[in-house]
Structure 1
Amino acid sequence: MDTVALLNTVRADRSGVHDDLADVAPRWRALRDAARVLAAERTDDPRPVAEGHEGRVAQAVATLNATAALAPGWPTLVDGRVVWASAVAAEDRALADAAAEAVRFFASEVELRACLAPGCVLYFVKEHHRQAWCSVGCGNRERAARHYARHR
């Protein structure tokens, strides 16, 4: 089951698991922060939002690895298809699956870039040699900012 389907399952059926997701949210934030530190390191992000990431890379890798190890699973055969089973709560499985995807992503050779448009804090995978921003909206904001700077 992919991570999105698992998250939808968790949202739809919360019986027997955490009654309040408040204790899960900090772990998701820690995973997000670790991924942002690794993305900033990989892209040499010059933006102010990424300042100070150099000293936190080792901790980010440790957080990512520890989170990915939260929900060890095993394949099971159900009606002729493989389903991953685990002995942990669905929230932990979803968190561990997201961390595992991040591990695979940061180990890949994709060209990750920081979007340098004004006000944007996102990263994107460069899919075309001329792609410079994460979205059309960011490109438009960048061009508008250049225009206004020239005509002031």
Structure 2
Amino acid sequence: MVTAAPGEDRAPALALVNTERVTGDDLASPASAVSWLGSHGLAASVPDAASLRRLTELRGAVRELLAALAAGRVPAPAALAAVNAAAGADAAALALTWGDGPSRAWNSARPGSLDAAVGALARDAIEVVSGELGALVRPCEAHGCIRYYVREHARRRWCSTTCGDRVRAARHQKLVVEQREGTR
């Protein structure tokens, strides 16, 4: 099991981007996509490869937005168009609820549909990139890692302790080799 990167619990769009890793893909099949969507409160059917492709193409577009944001550049126009089109795939309205206090949520016109799930993920991506979390989203600095995380501490550089441990072990090994070669 893969440890969630910081911020995934607050931003399903960040979790979507991190479904693709060097070691595997949580959206490898329609069944795995249904499972992933359900685990993020976005129950939807993914009946075929074309539906799965909609989800993975959105993932690629959101990844491009996050990469552009982290690099301080303008994202590819195709990524902007894809996220905006996905955000409009489902007619949804912002609704106010009142439990312990006011909160807001998007209510889908077609709950449980793939359009509702894709629309919710795209709207979340827009909120992340344009909101306060956007300034905190960073790519993992571990060699070979392609995940993103919310950097809540100034010294954090990795998406997980696993990546941090890998970097520290590699740095230690490099020092050991350099010391060994320096004593010859």
After TM superposition, the score normalised by the length of structure 2 is: 0.61
Which sections of structure 2, spanning at least 5 residues, go unmatched?
Answer: 1-11, 13-36, 97-104, 178-184
Q: Which moved more, 1:109-118 or 1:26-35?
A: 109-118
Residues 41-94 of structure 1 show CA distances to partners (whole Å, capped at 9, x for unaligned) of: 11129xxxxxxxx786211111100110000124689xxxx8824158711111
1:47-58 alignment, distance < 5 Å: 57-58=76-77
Q: Say whether residues 1:102 and 2:125 are aligned partners.
A: yes
1:6 Cα offset (Å): 2.9
- Identical-pair percentage: 32
SS in 1 for 2:107: strand
Aligned with residue 120 of structure 1, among 138, 145, 155: 145
Which sections of structure 1, spanning at least 5 residues, go unmatched?
Answer: 12-17, 46-53
Task: Please name the residue that 2:85 is paired with.
Answer: 66
| One-letter amino acid matched to 1:71 | D
Task: Please name the residue that 1:35 is paired with.
Answer: 62
CA contact (8 A) 1:115 1:124 kept: yes
Cα RMSD over matched residues? 2.9
Question: After TM superposition, what 4+ stretches of structure 1 lie above 3 angstroms from structure 2?
Answer: 74-77
After TM superposition, the score normalised by the length of structure 1 is: 0.73
Give the aligned length. 130
